[in-house]
């Protein structure tokens, strides 16, 4: 019997726990060439800003071992086009949208929340806190738990109450658990983690940074153990807060790792670049893995690594 | 999902051939072959199931044939680890392929004179184009440039497929010594070319575009930007391109291209965000209309 | 002509910039089965403690994409055996020793420095600051810049002045540049970076953490972009402070990346596990890469990525 | 570097054979073959040059032969991605191999009666041991256990190499139904065994050690712990082992083992740091002598 894959993220229940991660699914249209977008739990949209945004200069990415470094700089059409074009398209295909928002200050996040909350077809809002804070020399909002909390509060209080608001955290912050706690206190309904990890590649031919601007974000399977560790630690501290886990999910077994660490859903990021049908494949592999171990509801394995006490025995 | 869009397949390798400095791999991929239009490319996963190389490698489609339901050939030179791995494939190995990707070359409605300019492996994409053009009754002239004789691409095929074929090498080891762009003007004059199609490194495309400008004829360029996804979802492959409305956008080479009208590409601003690009820092002040943004690149 | 590979780390000059990283070279004896240990720049010893230490329970490691997670827990024989057995052996083979020290408080570091500083054959001391601080619920000394500075000061002032003291930093600290600054102000002669990155693997069969104790350190090529980024940022802030760069060095090209980012030497860690002759291979590859680009002295490429301005052009 | 220590080689694959549930790969590796003593293992890099699998995979050496200057055979079942990759190798492929690694089985000086107990693929290591023992005039008896008939290891070779060969399978599909340890006591009695050699999973080794204890005969066990390096540098493969001085140390399976005297291994404490182990938390108080620590494991 195939297991019950439904998963609960705050007030919302998704058909299954496999999502496409923000910035790694385009507008949904591109991936829809490879599979039926309605089959996955949800599509997290590229982070939307108020205005059109041209992003960072190229080169924007470089391959690294089992991963990549990228710096896209939130290129996007702005919220108006998003609401007129991308969101209705997703709805028309039966896709469920988690709308990721990015801003340059509390006011922008607040305004975005208002605009998005009024639109039809928004299942959830995800707050991208890894945006440069112009008031703090470009450090990310996530670097300052108090600032992050202000943004979460602003978005939460300007979003319809039936739409869960998740805060998306980066791993390289002064104190991840404290940041998570601040977001939860500011009434985030859940947490998404992790965003990419700061890093840099240098082109061995030119000896110059391979990505314009130098630093970028490392993503892909390489960061998976870092991501799983973050989810595990935050779930330990806040066992009742739902988590969308991500960072290098490539297979059903990887998804299972995140669920066991405490995530209620997973998001597939960079692996969509290398395998455009990854989301449905991972969903199938996860279903099979659960069926094999006789699990009837995916919810049963959420947090399993915390319950089974200690490490696996040596083989 | 769609009959026109790209597909992902596990395709058996039919042959791997060595051609001078290049390798030619032919795979059996009927769905790719059937959808293919010249100018499009495929992306190939490299390194096997447990590869540390996360990203696919993009290659122009050099040829499609009806054999075995449909085969696709691509050519490449070994550049890094991904192409080194590809060069070691043998027949019957499976390749994970996505394609056909990208906007194809627009074809002229009338039987006009076309000059096709290819630099290095960039020539690959021009051969199926030459076929399509000839099927429409167009005259085709080739100008092919390379660093040295062993990097000149399919000289014989080029001669066969075209009215004339001109070759240049940097070291003079084959054809004229010099760069492709040194020869292009003369070919345009002699052949009374009506349009230029070009593929190769960015500096070459810029020069080709300038030369076409001098002769007042349109030029279609196919760019080879580094691509993480090839499907339009990552926004890593952008270059500044001027839209029909005169507004510059950061366009994705993989889905908005790889073929662009040469005059539209802001070659001098590649690697920057031009100050007047849609959504550039400070851009906000300039805009006003709501509809404009609707047509942006991604 | 083969390039001049000598590199300067504070008062010490090494024949070449390829070192074996702490904890990844055993006592030197094991690697000496595969190559002449005198051929590499230096061997950084497994972190030495005052007393014998049994380390952490097994399982102690798990493989992850392009890397591994491990938690060894500083198993070792203690400083006495080290000074009687391991150090003399290294000297007898012409190896140069960077002695890594680990303690559970300022007093232990201080005592270790005294004992080691008196021994013959110590080229440099490296302070492993990623040790649990019993006074701070097991958080690492590196998590607290002031505490780290106290340790650096204690070691520096108890070490012979001709022996450079390097502080080894972890990437996942509240503020890496601030930590580096605190160490430099406490008179560290240089910095080693990075130690492994916190992370976890979960065994998809048992759904339990794959390493006893749950969290471990991620190492190997997977973390290289993170490490290169850290070196780049710290070199930007402290261009005159010599750095030993490490984190996933696997090839000569990788070594070159670290040098270009600002390291004066590199250390090879986990890759020694997969390729026991890695150090000499990497040295050879680096020499070849430098020769190919016509570099006559390795010192010329140190920090090159900062000088060439901006990113590599798009190909 | 040394004539006795391990070497690292790039060895061509001679043959890949399928044997029931196992694969057998023979490589040409003269330097490994020449140094080999029974009980030792090799470690093999998996996944090719750009593999995401950082770590080597350890395998017992099952056979060495003088052909082609020296060949080495190892057997394995597909367990995960590394062994899956190995199973796809073909002859002439190159494998990056390090070996021989580990402490070999100590051999008796006199021609005594030896019982060799192997569980699953753990039997592999016992075949070259049987040869060495017989060369010394020892009597050899085999007890081989497995989950099912297709996992019973080289039954014919075992019969040929030994005075008796007893087989057990969990499902009774071959030999006796039950576990190897159910049969071992009887064999020891019948063969009047003087010593036990065993290899297999940890719980089996524990039981074998207990049985040998009942009969008052020594037992050598070969353990298969997860190993990151196999060369003694990483300290990831430790188990608690009692030294000659009565002190427990966390010993490295790869260089202090994989062969240990069974009675010395603290099977019940595997996965822990026993409170009385050298350097365990709180250990300091107990020690006093300076020399003690000198013989610790690493
Ligand atoms: C649309 C398109 C069509 C192409 N067609 C061909 C072709 O027909 N024949 C051919 O030989 N080459 C072609 N290229 C270039 C080819 O993709 C690269 O040579 C190849 O990706 C190099 O991979 P590697 O692993 O060997 O090199 P590495 O340098 O190790 O690759 C590292 C990363 O950089 C990227 N990269 C490296 N060089 C290039 C490059 N020149 N262009 C784009 N990305 C690059 C790789 O894709 C990879 O992500 C094309 C590129 C594009 C974008
Ligand atoms: C000294 C020694 C001798 C061995 N001899 C044999 C042999 O002759 N035949 C044989 O079939 N197997 C043998 N094994 C086990 C063999 O090494 C594993 O089956 C193999 O490493 C699995 O690799 P994988 O990538 O397929 O599995 P995965 O589970 O994907 O491997 C992941 C990681 O776990 C480790 N690992 C997984 N299973 C084991 C295991 N059972 N023991 C140790 N490490 C493991 C791997 O080495 C790798 O680091 C031996 C192990 C040791 C330590
Ligand atoms: C090219 C790229 C673009 C991304 N854009 C966004 C974004 O707009 N908003 C966001 O919250 N995260 C963004 N991310 C982060 C991913 O959503 C994800 O958190 C991260 O990449 C880790 O997952 P992965 O390893 O599966 O890619 C982006 C990542 C990549 C690689
Ligand atoms: C098994 C293992 C043991 C280690 N032991 C130590 C240690 O004792 N002291 C120390 O400073 N670093 C130790 N490290 C960290 C390494 O020296 C190095 O900083 C880190 O692994 C990153 O380099 P790499 O990616 O090349 O392995 C250890 C790393 C590993 C994997
Ligand atoms: S390569 Fe990803 S959008 Fe073009
Ligand atoms: S496996 Fe590294 S010490 Fe044994």
**Considering just the CA atoms, what is the radius of gyration of chain C in Å?**
18
Work out the end-to-end distance of chain B between its first and last CA atoms, rounded to an integer number of angstroms: 21
The answer, yes or no, to whether any atom of ligand 3 lies below 6 A from the CB of A128, is: yes
User: Which residues have C-beta within 8 Å of that of residue C135, sequence separation ≥ 6?
Assistant: C105
Any B CB within 8 A of A162 CB: no
Any C CB within 8 A of B224 CB: yes
Q: Report how far Cα B277 is from the mean position of its chain's Cα atoms.
A: 24
Could you report the per-residue pLDDT of A154-175, keeping only the tens digit for each?
A: 999 999 999 999 999 999 999 9
Q: CA-nearest residue of chain D to A67?
A: D52
As beta bridge partners, residue D17 has: D24
- The ligand 4 site (C-beta within 6 Å) comprises C 21-24, 46-47, 70, 72, 74, 100, 128, 168, 195-196, 219-220, 223, 246-249, 268-271; D 234
Residue D211: the pLDDT is: 95
CB contact under 8 A, C314 and B270: yes
Q: Report how far Cα C158 is from the mean position of its chain's Cα atoms.
A: 21
For residue A271, which residues of chain C lie inside 8 Å, CB to CB? none
Main-chain phi, psi angles of D210, to 5 degrees: -65, -40
Whether C2 is in a domain gets the answer no
Q: Would you say residue D298 has pLDDT above 60?
A: no
Chain A interface, best mutation among C140, C225, C282, by max A CB count within 10 A: C225
Distance CA B283, CA B98 (A): 36
Ligand 4 mean position, distance from CA C197 (Å): 10
Distance CA C15, CA C42 (A): 9
Which one, of D141, D167, D164, lies nearest residue D154 by Cα?
D167
CATH number for the domain spanning A132: value is: 3.20.20.70
Ligand 2 mean position, distance from CA C76 (Å): 26
Percentage of chain C with pLDDT > 70? 97
Structural domains counted in chain A: 1
Cβ-count burial D49-58 (b if 16+ within 10 Å, e if not): ebbbbbbbbb
- Domain of residue A27 covers 7-64+75-307
Which one, of A171, A193, A181, A117, lies nearest residue A148 by Cα?
A181
Across A310-314, D39-43, D198-202, D211-215, least confident range: A310-314
User: Which residues have C-beta within 8 Å of that of residue A107, sequence separation ≥ 6?
Assistant: none
- Per-residue pLDDT band at D150 (split at 50, 70, 90): confident
Q: CA-nearest residue of chain D to C74?
A: D235
As beta bridge partners, residue C61 has: C70
Q: Which fold has domain B113-223?
A: Rossmann fold (3.40.50)
Residue D20: the pLDDT is: 81
Give the mutation target among B228, B250, B296 for probing the ligand 5 site: most ligand atoms within 8 A of CB: B228
Residue D19: the pLDDT is: 84
**What single string gives the DSSP state of each residue in D173-215?**
SSSEES-HHHHHHHHHHHHT-SEEEEES-HHHHHHHHHHHHHH
Distance CA A215, CA C177 (A): 15
Distance CA C255, CA C290 (A): 11
Q: Would you say residue C1 has pLDDT above 80?
A: no
Total length of chain D: 298
Taking phi first (over 0 means left), then psi (-120 to 50 degrees means alpha), and beta for anything else, what does residue C180 get? alpha
Name the neighbours of A, counting chains with at least 3 Cβ pairs within 8 A: B, C, D
Ligand 4 mean position, distance from CA C200 (Å): 16
Could you report the per-residue pLDDT of A23-77, keeping only the tens digit for each?
A: 999 999 999 999 999 999 999 999 999 999 999 999 999 999 999 999 999 999 9
Distance CA D223, CA D251 (A): 12
Give the mutation target among B6, B224, B233 for probing the ligand 5 site: most ligand atoms within 8 A of CB: B233
- Beta strands (DSSP E) in D61-129 are 63-65, 71-76, 94-101, 113-119
Total length of chain A: 315
Q: Would you say residue B287 has pLDDT above 60?
A: no
Across A246-250, B147-151, B195-199, D178-182, least confident range: B147-151
DSSP state of C83: I
Distances (CA, A) of B21 to B126, B150, B151: 18, 5, 6
- Per-residue pLDDT band at D2 (split at 50, 70, 90): low
CB contact under 8 A, C277 and D238: no
Which is higher by pLDDT, C161 or D298?
Answer: C161
**CB-count burial class (<10 Å; 0-12, 13-18, 19+) for D131:** middle
Could you report the per-residue pLDDT of B237-254, keeping only the tens digit for each?
A: 999 999 999 999 999 999
CATH architecture label of D7-101:
Beta Barrel (2.40)
Residue C183 host element (H or E): helix C176-185
Distances (CA, A) of A125 to A105, A119, A194, A266: 17, 12, 16, 16
Residue B298: the pLDDT is: 31
**Considering just the CA atoms, what is the radius of gyration of chain A in Å?**
18
Q: What is the pTM of this model?
A: 0.95
- Per-residue pLDDT band at D3 (split at 50, 70, 90): low
Could you report the per-residue pLDDT of B50-69, keeping only the tens digit for each?
A: 999 999 999 999 999 999 99
Distance CA B129, CA B124 (A): 10
Task: Identify whether the C-beta of residue D96 lies closer than 8 Å to the C-beta of residue D44.
Answer: yes
- Whether omega before B250 lies within 30 degrees of 0, making that bond cis, reads no
As for the ipTM of the complex, it is 0.95
Which residues of chain A have a pLDDT value below 50?
Answer: 310-315
Task: Identify whether the C-beta of residue B107 lies closer than 8 Å to the C-beta of residue B69.
Answer: no
Task: Identify whether the C-beta of residue A256 lies closer than 8 Å to the C-beta of residue A289.
Answer: yes
Ligand 4 mean position, distance from CA C226 (Å): 15
Distance CA C216, CA A117 (A): 41
Q: Which residues of A are catalytic?
A: 131
Instruction: Kindly state the average pLDDT of the residues D26-37.
Output: 96
- Whether omega before A59 lies within 30 degrees of 0, making that bond cis, reads yes
Name the neighbours of C, counting chains with at least 3 Cβ pairs within 8 A: A, B, D
Q: In what order do the strands lie in the sheet with B63-65?
A: B57-60, B41-44, B94-101, B7-19, B22-28, B71-76, B63-65
Distance CA C25, CA C43 (A): 7
Task: Identify whether the C-beta of residue C255 lies closer than 8 Å to the C-beta of residue C286.
Answer: yes
Most confident of B168-182, B255-269, D279-293: B255-269
Proximal ligand: closest to the CA of D22: 2
For chain A positions 46-105, those within 8 Å of chain B (CB to CB) are 46, 51-63, 65-68, 70, 72, 75-78, 80-81, 84-85
Q: Where are the domains positioned within chain B?
A: 7-101, 113-223, 225-283
Across A298-312, B269-283, C111-125, least confident range: A298-312
Q: CA-nearest residue of chain A to C255?
A: A204
For residue C68, which residues of chain B lie inside 8 Å, CB to CB? none
Distances (CA, A) of D223 to A12, D41, D64, D227, D241: 50, 11, 21, 11, 12
Distance CA D192, CA D186 (A): 10
Residue D287: the pLDDT is: 47
Any B CB within 8 A of D51 CB: yes
DSSP state of B29: -
Whether A313 is in a domain gets the answer no
User: Which residues have C-beta within 8 Å of that of residue B99, sequence separation ≥ 6?
Assistant: B6, B7, B29, B32, B35, B36, B40, B41, B42, B43, B61, B72
Main-chain phi, psi angles of B128, to 5 degrees: -65, -30
Proximal ligand: closest to the CA of A25: 3
Instruction: Kindly state the average pLDDT of the residues C54-72.
Output: 96
Any D CB within 8 A of B81 CB: yes
Proximal ligand: closest to the CA of D77: 2
Distance CA A3, CA D50 (A): 37
Distance CA B43, CA C289 (A): 30
For B280, which of A35, A54, A58 is closest by C-beta distance?
A54
Q: Would you say residue B294 has pLDDT above 80?
A: no
- The ligand 5 site (C-beta within 6 Å) comprises B 227-230, 232-237, 252-254
DSSP state of D277: B
Work out the end-to-end distance of chain D between its first and last CA atoms, rounded to an integer number of angstroms: 21
**What single string gives the DSSP state of each residue in chain A?**
---B--EEETTEEESSSEEEPTTSSTTSHHHHTTS-GGGSSEEEPPPB-SS-B--PPSP-EEEETTEEEE-----B--HHHIIIIIHHHHHHTT--EEEEE--SSHHHHHHHHHHHHTSTTEEEEEEE--SB-GGGTT-BGGG-HHHHHHHHHHHHHTS-TTS-EEEEE-SSSS-HHHHHHHHHHTT-SEEEE-PPEEE--B-TTT-SBSSTTS-EEEESGGGHHHHHHHHHHHHHH-TTS-EEEESS--SHHHHHHHHHHT-SEEEE-THHHH-TTHHHHHHHHHHHHHHHTT-SBGGGGTTHHHHS-SPPPP-
Residue D160: the pLDDT is: 84
Q: What is the overall mean pLDDT for chain D?
A: 90
Distance CA D67, CA D26 (A): 11
CB contact under 8 A, D81 and B50: yes
């Amino acid at each position: 019997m195939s297991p019950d894959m439904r998963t609960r993220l705050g007030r919302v229940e998704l058909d299954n726990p496999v999502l496409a991660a923000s910035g790694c699914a385009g507008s949904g249209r591109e991936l829809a060439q490879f599979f039926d977008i309605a089959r996955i739990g949800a599509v997290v949209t590229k982070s939307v800003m108020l205005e059109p945004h041209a992003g960072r200069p190229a080169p924007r990415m470089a391959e690294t071992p089992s991963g990549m470094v990228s710096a896209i700089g939130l290129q996007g059409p702005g919220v108006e086009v998003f609401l007129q074009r991308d969101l209705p398209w997703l709805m028309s295909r039966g896709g469920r949208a988690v709308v990721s928002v990015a801003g340059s200050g509390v006011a922008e996040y607040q305004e975005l929340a208002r605009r998005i909350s009024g639109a039809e077809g928004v299942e959830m809002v995800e707050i991208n806190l890894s945006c440069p804070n112009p008031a703090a020399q470009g450090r990310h909002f996530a670097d300052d738990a108090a600032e992050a909390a202000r943004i979460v509060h602003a978005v939460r209080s300007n979003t319809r109450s039936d739409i869960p608001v998740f805060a998306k955290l980066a791993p390289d912050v002064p104190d991840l658990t404290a940041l998570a706690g601040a977001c939860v206190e500011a009434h985030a309904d859940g947490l998404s983690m992790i965003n990419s990890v700061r890093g840099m590649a240098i082109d061995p031919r030119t000896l110059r940074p391979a990505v314009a601007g130098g630093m970028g974000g490392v993503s892909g399977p390489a960061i998976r153990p870092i991501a799983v560790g973050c989810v595990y630690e935050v779930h330990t501290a806040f066992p009742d807060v739902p988590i969308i886990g991500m960072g290098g999910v490539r297979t059903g077994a990887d998804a299972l790792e995140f669920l066991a660490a405490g995530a209620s859903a997973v998001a597939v990021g960079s692996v969509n670049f290398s395998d455009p049908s990854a989301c449905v494949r991972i969903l199938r592999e996860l279903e099979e893995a659960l069926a094999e171990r006789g699990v009837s509801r995916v919810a049963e394995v959420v947090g399993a690594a915390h319950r089974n006490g200690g490490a696996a025995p040596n083989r | 999902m769609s009959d026109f869009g790209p597909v992902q397949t596990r395709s058996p390798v039919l042959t791997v051939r060595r051609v001078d400095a290049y390798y030619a791999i032919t795979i059996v991929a009927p769905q790719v072959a059937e959808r293919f239009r010249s100018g499009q490319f495929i992306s190939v996963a490299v390194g096997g199931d447990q590869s540390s190389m996360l990203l696919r490698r993009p290659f122009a489609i050099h040829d499609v044939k009806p054999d075995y339901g449909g085969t696709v050939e691509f050519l490449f030179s070994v550049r890094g680890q991904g192409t080194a791995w590809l060069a070691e494939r043998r027949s019957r190995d499976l390749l994970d392929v996505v394609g056909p990707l990208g906007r194809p070359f627009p074809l002229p409605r009338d039987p006009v004179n076309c000059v096709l300019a290819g630099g290095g492996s960039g020539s690959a994409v021009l051969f199926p184009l030459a076929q399509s053009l000839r099927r429409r009754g167009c005259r085709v002239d080739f100008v092919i440039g390379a660093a040295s004789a062993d990097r000149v691409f399919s000289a014989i095929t080029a001669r066969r497929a075209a009215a004339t074929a001109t070759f240049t090498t940097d070291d003079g080891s084959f054809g004229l010594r010099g760069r492709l762009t040194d020869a292009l003007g003369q070919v345009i004059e002699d052949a009374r070319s009506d349009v230029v199609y070009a593929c190769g490194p960015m500096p070459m495309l810029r020069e080709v575009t300038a030369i076409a400008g001098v002769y007042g004829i349109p030029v279609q360029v196919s760019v080879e930007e580094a691509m993480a996804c090839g499907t339009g979802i990552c926004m890593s492959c952008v270059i500044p391109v001027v839209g029909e409305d005169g507004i510059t956008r950061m366009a994705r080479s993989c889905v908005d291209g790889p073929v662009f009208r040469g005059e539209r590409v802001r070659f001098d601003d590649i690697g920057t965000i031009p100050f007047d690009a849609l959504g550039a820092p400070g851009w906000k002040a300039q805009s006003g209309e709501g509809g404009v943004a609707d047509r942006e690149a991604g």
